[in-house]
Structure 1
Amino acid sequence: MAKEISYLLGYNELSAFTRTFKRWTGQTPAAYHRNFIDCEIKPGTSTQKKVPKGTF
């Protein structure tokens, strides 16, 4: 997946995209993807956050 994204963004080398991505996010594209998958909202869970009273 990272290879396709790097190509779409104009990178000729995956390694150049990976270095730049790590500079932007602090992690490799693979680590970012794993963290994203781990944080996915599971069916049946609430997506709403509690907001303290008086913040509006």
Structure 2
Amino acid sequence: MPSAKPRITIYIDDEDLTFLRDWAEREDRSVNNLVLRLIKTAIGFERAASSTANNK
């Protein structure tokens, strides 16, 4: 069943894609799952930084 979540498209260098594929394979996950985890981690850091900046 297709996901109802919004989609995004990115364009990356072949070298970066190869790196992501190797990394995902080492962690026994898909590239999509790895990239989603990286994005969520980055969002978490940014939210924490924004929260800290707003509290000053």
TM range (shorter): 0.3 to 0.5
More helix by share: 2
TM-score, scaled relative to structure 2: 0.36
TM-score, scaled relative to structure 1: 0.36
